[in-house]
Amino acid sequence: MTAFRHSAESLAKLATDGSVPEKRLSETIAEHLRRTVRVNPSEAERRSWDRSLPILARDLVDAGLGDVEMLIEYQLPLTSKRADVVLAGVDRRTGGDAYLVVELKQWSRAELFEEDPDLVLAEGTPGGPKLHPALQVRGYCDYLADFIGALEGRDDALRGVAYLHNAADLDIQDLYTREQDERSRLFTKTRRGAFLTYLSDQFAPESGADAADRLLTSAVRPSKQLLKLAAREIKDREQFVLLAEQRLAYEIVLNAVDRARRADSKEVVIVTGGPGSGKSVIALSLLGELSRQGRAVLHATGSRSFTETLRKVPGKGSSKVKSLFKYFNSFMTAEQNGLEVLICDESHRLRETSQNRYTPARLRSDRRQVDELIDAARVPVFLLDEHQVVRPGEMGTTAEIREHAEARGLRVHEISLDEQFRCGGSRAYEEWVLHLLGLRGDRPVPWSGDDHFAVSPAESPQELETLLRSKLDKGYSARMTAGFCWPWSKPQSNDTLVHDVQIGDWSRPWNVKDDRAVGSAPASALWATLDGGFEQVGCVYTAQGFEYDWNGVIIGPDLVVRDGRLHTRRAFSKDPSLTRGTTDEQADRLIRNTYKVLLTRGMIGTFVYSTDPETQEFLSRLTS
């Protein structure tokens, strides 16, 4: 948690000091953010600091509260979101710590958007409707209450206001139709007197330095209230059935959690299994059960698509539950053993380090990501499939995790789910794919058939699409994917997708590249699960971690059969990640693993087509 910190009185002086260059305040804050969170603020942000923060600081001084601490651009824990200001001081009534989240708006006019009490149109602000500022600040308060240990059970210590200091009441009267409470009050310049009285009622005229210290150094963990809600939303609503090794893994984790708590110790659990073996079912079952027990537990992945879908599906109906789903790089500064359990799903997506080009300089280090995750909880749980490592820099393997755990002297439990697979319960199909791709055995083997799973070649991309569409029309889920052998363009200016995947006279676009839907095509992270995704070709980065009834795979020219074996040809790959310092050996493995992922997304059957005639003929012989 980072913030630019000053008392109200010192900030007011900084903002009005005539001996320093104009806009010194915004430059000082900008430099702080560049140094601590590696963010380069926009000109609009700088203007807002210069215009809004001095007003709030002066209001505090005029209210006799110059010693209240102002935490500016306060970063919410385990997120990249920042609150404008958090005021920290002494509660006038109780003498305890008091915190007030302030959302500052420069709007002079605003009205509800189409009479929706949650959305606002503000004059002079681009980008269409905005979230109602009182609702925005309430969200920040609720999140802090859910994750800041110092606020656990202290609902009265945290309040929130939206302050529209440039607006008169008559110019934003629509916004008052939303009901207010202690975390969503609304003030304007018309009500400045009431705002000063409100501030005086909240804070005593004493230093807020100690309260600010306690907030900034507090443990970060989900609250018991949030865990109860998660138990209701996940465990009680979704009835997951755990079979054999799945149940074994589940019970071993629960046992390890109990033992770690009783003995004040630490253990690591590794769960391995192929696609569909139930790793994510175990993960969500554990999240629900541990939440029910009131344990401090979070779920994390390295996949944006997978995490966003979990936030949308298990977290549906509750923005609070969504906050339990994090990313692996959220734990760079986590308190050691601050959680009881950290469930690391899709752990084959672990990277060497959590840092990237946006990582603040103060956080840059050579510390391994696996070490950060092990350190974050008393019982870190890693669920992985080593054959799904598809990007350079991914290194989530059983050996890697075990090595780092044992180097700390930790007990390691390992459970294999290899007896169960998603593909219709067909271990035969999983084995066939591994042999086909040269990931097991000497050479590909014929498909001998299985009553639980169907494998068929398609003679053309048109036939592949027709076969899949016929399944879709019958109510099944279906998607088609391809190896990364075609360019991936941005949407056209008319908000349509470019048909990049071209094979003869057939063409289709890739799935959407970004987080915004394009026409009827869903956002990248939701391609596998939302209506409209069938009309685009998915890639490994959007398909990984998901399943659908019928699976169609286009094998591109980066994987061809020669002399009875499949060979990779990295020169035909358009994946930019294979062009940056990747050896031929690494590229070979990554391409094979990519097709392993693509070929094992189906639950009922797979149709496969190759753009290479010799490979297509070979596949037809193997599956006939």
| Residue entry with tokens 């074996």 | 565
The residues that bridge with 185 in the sheet, in sequence order, are 161
Per-residue model confidence (pLDDT) at position 238:
46
One-letter amino acid of 506: W
Domain match, 9 and 76 both = yes
Per-residue model confidence (pLDDT) at position 421:
42
Domain match, 146 and 258 both = no
Q: Which residue has the higher pLDDT, 554 or 549?
A: 554
Domain match, 71 and 123 both = yes
Flag whether 11 is in a domain. Answer: yes
3-class DSSP assignment, residue 591: helix
Flag whether 356 is in a domain. Answer: yes
Flag whether 457 is in a domain. Answer: yes
Q: How many CA atoms lie within 13 A of 309 on its CB side?
A: 23
The tokens for 130 are: 């905005």
List, for residues 55-79, the tens digit of each pLDDT value.
999 999 999 999 999 999 998 886 6
Task: Please state, in angstroms and rounded to a whole number, the distance separating the CA atoms of residues 64 and 297.
Answer: 42
Query: Which of the listed residues 416, 441, 459 is the one where a domain comes to its end?
Result: 416
Lowest-confidence segment of 61-65, 476-480, 601-605 by average pLDDT? 601-605
Secondary structure E strands in 61-132: 69-75, 82-90, 97-105, 110-113, 116-122, 130-131
Cβ 350 vs Cβ 368: under 8 Å: no
Domain match, 455 and 380 both = no
Q: Which 3-state string (H, E, C) describes 49-75?
A: HHHHHHHHHHHHHHCCCCCCEEEEEEE
Q: What is the mean pLDDT of residues 285-291?
A: 86
3-class DSSP assignment, residue 310: helix
Per-residue model confidence (pLDDT) at position 19:
43
Q: Which of 16-25, 202-211, 307-316 has the highest mean pLDDT?
A: 202-211
List, for residues 330-347, the tens digit of each pLDDT value.
898 888 899 999 999 889
Per-residue model confidence (pLDDT) at position 495:
86
List, for residues 499-512, the tens digit of each pLDDT value.
999 999 999 999 99
| Residue entry with tokens 């656990």 | 152
Band of residue 243 on the pLDDT scale cut at 50, 70, 90: low
| Residue entry with tokens 């005539």 | 18
Over 90: is that where the pLDDT of 128 sits? Answer: no
Lowest-confidence segment of 35-44, 310-319, 371-380 by average pLDDT? 310-319
Band of residue 21 on the pLDDT scale cut at 50, 70, 90: very low
Per-residue model confidence (pLDDT) at position 15:
77
Cβ 43 vs Cβ 51: under 8 Å: no
Q: pTM here?
A: 0.56
Average pLDDT, the chain: 85
Binning the chain into helix, strand and coil, the percentages to the nearest 5 are 40, 20, 40
402-421 burial: b if 16+ Cβ within 10 Å, else e: bebbeeeebebbebebeebb
Task: Please state, in angstroms and rounded to a whole number, the distance separating the CA atoms of residues 137 and 100.
Answer: 10
Domain match, 163 and 16 both = yes
Task: Please state, in angstroms and rounded to a whole number, the distance separating the CA atoms of residues 13 and 7.
Answer: 10
Q: What is the mean pLDDT of residues 574-585?
A: 82
Domain match, 438 and 536 both = yes
CB proximity list for 196: less than 8 A, separation 6 or greater: 59, 62, 63
Task: Please state, in angstroms and rounded to a whole number, the distance separating the CA atoms of residues 623 and 106.
Answer: 66
List, for residues 559-578, the tens digit of each pLDDT value.
999 988 899 999 999 988 78
Please give the share of the chain, as a percent, with pLDDT higher than 70. Answer: 87
Flag whether 422 is in a domain. Answer: no
Domain match, 469 and 536 both = yes
Region for residue 394 given its phi and psi (left: phi exceeds 0; alpha: psi -120 to 50; beta: otherwise): beta
Per-residue model confidence (pLDDT) at position 464:
97
Q: Which of 228-237, 268-277, 421-430 has the highest mean pLDDT?
A: 268-277
Query: Which of the listed residues 194, 216, 238 is the one where a domain comes to its end?
Result: 216
Q: Which residue has the higher pLDDT, 445 or 314?
A: 445
Per-residue model confidence (pLDDT) at position 512:
92
Over 90: is that where the pLDDT of 147 sits? Answer: no
Flag whether 111 is in a domain. Answer: yes
One-letter amino acid of 112: L
Q: Is 487 exposed, middle or buried (0-12, 13-18, 19+ CB in 10 A)?
A: exposed
Question: In whole angstroms, how large is the CA radius of gyration of the chain?
Answer: 27
Cβ 107 vs Cβ 127: under 8 Å: no
Per-residue model confidence (pLDDT) at position 239:
47
3-class DSSP assignment, residue 519: coil
Between strands 116-122 and 110-113, the pairing is antiparallel
Task: Please state, in angstroms and rounded to a whole number, the distance separating the CA atoms of residues 372 and 334.
Answer: 8
List, for residues 435-452, the tens digit of each pLDDT value.
999 988 888 999 988 766
The tokens for 572 are: 């035909």
Would you say how long the chain is, in residues? 624
Over 60: is that where the pLDDT of 20 sits? Answer: no
Domain match, 454 and 533 both = yes
The tokens for 409 are: 């002297």
Over 90: is that where the pLDDT of 91 sits? Answer: yes
| Enclosing domain of residue 111 | 4-216
CB proximity list for 217: less than 8 A, separation 6 or greater: none
DSSP secondary structure letter of residue 544: T
Per-residue model confidence (pLDDT) at position 465:
96
Per-residue model confidence (pLDDT) at position 302:
83
Q: CATH code at 230?
A: 3.40.50.300
Of 102, 134, 104, nearest in space to 117 by CA: 134
Per-residue model confidence (pLDDT) at position 93:
92
Task: Please state, in angstroms and rounded to a whole number, the distance separating the CA atoms of residues 393 and 348.
Answer: 11
Over 90: is that where the pLDDT of 167 sits? Answer: yes
Flag whether 421 is in a domain. Answer: no
List, for residues 266-276, the tens digit of each pLDDT value.
999 999 887 66
Domain match, 462 and 572 both = yes
Q: What is the mean pLDDT of residues 402-413?
A: 92
Cβ 123 vs Cβ 172: under 8 Å: no
Over 80: is that where the pLDDT of 472 sits? Answer: yes
CB proximity list for 354: less than 8 A, separation 6 or greater: 328, 329, 331, 332, 367, 369, 372
Per-residue model confidence (pLDDT) at position 206:
95
Q: What is the mean pLDDT of residues 288-309?
A: 82
Per-residue model confidence (pLDDT) at position 620:
94
Please give the share of the chain, as a percent, with pLDDT higher than 90. Answer: 45
Domain match, 230 and 197 both = no
Domain match, 455 and 583 both = yes
Flag whether 41 is in a domain. Answer: yes
Task: Please state, in angstroms and rounded to a whole number, the distance separating the CA atoms of residues 532 and 145.
Answer: 38
Q: Which residue has the higher pLDDT, 399 or 450?
A: 399
- Distance set, CA 414 to CA 271, 281, 287, 394 (Å): 6, 17, 19, 20
Task: Please state, in angstroms and rounded to a whole number, the distance separating the CA atoms of residues 372 and 575.
Answer: 29
Per-residue model confidence (pLDDT) at position 72:
93
Flag whether 505 is in a domain. Answer: yes
Query: Which of the listed residues 166, 181, 216 is the one where a domain comes to its end?
Result: 216
The tokens for 93 are: 């009534």
Q: What is the mean pLDDT of residues 217-224?
A: 80
Q: What is the mean pLDDT of residues 123-141?
A: 83
514-545 burial: b if 16+ Cβ within 10 Å, else e: eeeebeebbbbbbbbbeebbbbbbbbbbbbbb
CB proximity list for 166: less than 8 A, separation 6 or greater: 105, 106, 107, 108, 189
Domain match, 437 and 555 both = yes
Total domains in the chain come to 3
Of 161, 11, 157, 9, nearest in space to 92 by CA: 157
Angle between helices 279-292 and 244-263 (to 10 degrees): 40
Per-residue model confidence (pLDDT) at position 552:
96
Lowest-confidence segment of 34-43, 63-72, 319-328 by average pLDDT? 34-43
| Residue entry with tokens 């693993």 | 593
- Distance set, CA 192 to CA 58, 83, 197, 217 (Å): 11, 21, 9, 33
